[in-house]
Structure 1
């Protein structure tokens, strides 16, 4: 970048944190382009999962999570990232342009950045410890800062959400095209994308347990059962609209909530399956999210004290996703609002 803006090491360090963001089936559907004066986030449509994510909502949420991870990374490195979202209507894959300003990082920003390499998607059962109400209020505030409403599904709302999760699981189980796509993106061992076997446990047959995706070749062992009921909290992130901007912001809020949960030591797992089928998503919209548009469900709780640490999920090499801005991209020049 130009003199007075971050050096290459800083940009690559922040980008390396950005690509640690969670994405649907670890598809990592993003690309970053570095200009002389700004950094640009693009969606990678070649990584769109057509059967899992027919309308591209999960892809936008995944990219929004990467955008928030980048903002957090730059903040901890001494740069405030001003994001101009969807800056070019003529190029729908151009999701954000980031303008950087010198900034003194706060302890909270450093703590969030430190949570990035520790965050994992933990699909295992939780312990019987309850999540403090104060933690949930902090997570709600983190979502609100991104313009997204976080709701804890309790009582009747939790019942209807569980119904939606079960219904979506059954419909996907009876969809051969979906099952084929899921198998192609899971059960991997050395691939830099997709869901590895070591990150997925076998289906939990414990009565009352919510069904999870049937990833291929699951190898992750559950901690020995304690005999007590698991205390799992279900959170729903919703937006007032359902346009592309709302979905991108929902991804940023997802990142903010997951990193805050990680900083508390909570185990977390995004659940989008009940929102990927239109009629099932409508159940969540009407019965759980109060008429707003549900974008993400998060499952959080405390991992059992004897649970083994989870390994990091592989990511693509940074050189594959971070490239110079070239003639095929939007020009990085004076006259655009982020320059």
Structure 2
């Protein structure tokens, strides 16, 4: 970049944090373009899982999470992001253009940025410590700023969610071989053998209140010594179009980073919303709008070992080169 905007080193430092965002089965479905005056975010359809995410809903959510991670990273580096979402109607995969202006980082910027490398998807049984209501209020407030609603699910609505969650886990368990074949075929096509199948497990914890996905590592399903007091949150939007899903991904990132910053463990439950037939059941639980993500939030047991960092592609693998005439048209 030039004309007083971040240099390439700063931009790539921000992108290195952006690609730490969670994505559907770690497919990392984003591509970035660095121009003279902006950064552009594109959805990469070559990373699609046609069986798991036929309508690309989870892919767009994943890109939204990466977009928010990028904004957080830039803010900590001294740049505020002005985001133009879906700026090119003729190019539906062009999800955002990010322009940058000087910004003085505040304590929140630094705290959320520091949470990025610490955040993990934690499939383990959580502890019996209750989550303070103030923490739940904080994540809801930050999601609301990004156009999403976060609701704590308890009582009867939580009981209504039990069936679709268990149904989704069971369907994935029954269809696991076909599911893994698709993932293996996808990873082979794109030269990535380990990023999607990093968990390598074939077990589903159907004895938990809300079962974890089929790809939780077997080392995460060990003996349970206390009740799990995790809260279940649902993140929803008023619409279900591409922009709504992109904003939902940004809000999901805000929830996860906020929770990580205060010490909470999180796990996004994707299976019930990956199966179209189960989405109405989630809405029937009395949830407003369109549910985009279900999130378990709680305290990891103090005796738990740190979770390993899941693999990510190198920055050079997700950057596109564009010529000068394109680069100036932001």
Contact 2:123 2:220 in 1 (8 A): no
Structure 1 residues 178, 221: closer, same or farther in 2, change over 3 A?
closer
SS in structure 2 opposite 1:172? helix
The aligned residue for residue 66 of structure 1 is 66
Structure 1 residues 223 and 130: alpha-carbon distance in aligned structure 2, compared to 1, 3 A threshold: farther
Do the aligned partners of 2:72 and 2:109 also contact (CA within 8 Å) in 1?
A: yes
- Alignment pair present for 1:301 and 2:298: yes
3-state SS of 1:257 partner: helix
Report the equivalent of 2:254. 256
CA distance in 2, matches of 1:160, 1:319: 45
Following TM superposition, by how much is the alpha carbon of 1:152 offset from its aligned partner in structure 2, in angstroms?
A: 0.7
Q: Aligned residue pairs: how many?
A: 325
State the TM-score, normalizing by the size of structure 1: 0.90
Alignment of 1:52-201 (within 5 A): 52-175=52-175, 177-181=178-182, 191=193, 193-197=195-199
Alignment pair present for 1:46 and 2:46: yes
Per the TM alignment, residue 122 of structure 1 is displaced from its structure 2 partner at its CA by 0.6
TM-score, reference length from structure 2? 0.92
How far did residue 160 of structure 1 move? 1.4
For 2:13 and 2:118, the matched residues in 1 are separated by: 16
**Cα distance change of structure 1 residues 180 and 311 upon mapping to structure 2, 3 Å threshold:** same
Tell me how far apart the structure 1 counterparts of residues 123 and 202 of structure 2 sit (CA, whole Å). Answer: 7
Say whether the 8 Å CA contact 2:270–2:293 is kept in structure 1: yes
Task: Quote the Cα distance in structure 2 between the aligned partners of 1:261 and 1:195.
Answer: 26
Q: Deviations over 1:121-160 (max 9, x none)?
A: 1111100101010000001001101010001110111111
Structure 1 position 204, deviation (Å):
3.3
- Greater alpha carbon shift after TM alignment, 135-144 vs 163-172: 163-172
Aligned equivalent of 2:326: 331
How far is 1:272 from its partner? 1.4
Unaligned segments of structure 1, at least 5 residues: none
Structure 2 unaligned regions, length at least 5:
none
Match of 1:281 in 2: 279
Contact 1:66 1:252 in 2 (8 A): yes
Question: Is 1:204 the equivalent of 2:205?
Answer: yes
The whole-number CA distance in structure 2 between the counterparts of 1:177 and 1:224 is 29
Partners of 1:322 and 1:10 in 2: how far apart? Answer: 15
User: Residues of 2 paired with 1:333 and 1:318: CA distance?
Assistant: 22
Separation of aligned partners in 1, 2:51 and 2:147:
29
Q: Distance in 2 between matches of 1:123 and 1:301?
A: 11
Tell me by how many angstroms 1:209 deviates: 3.1
- Distance in 2 of aligned mates of 1:44 and 1:16: 18
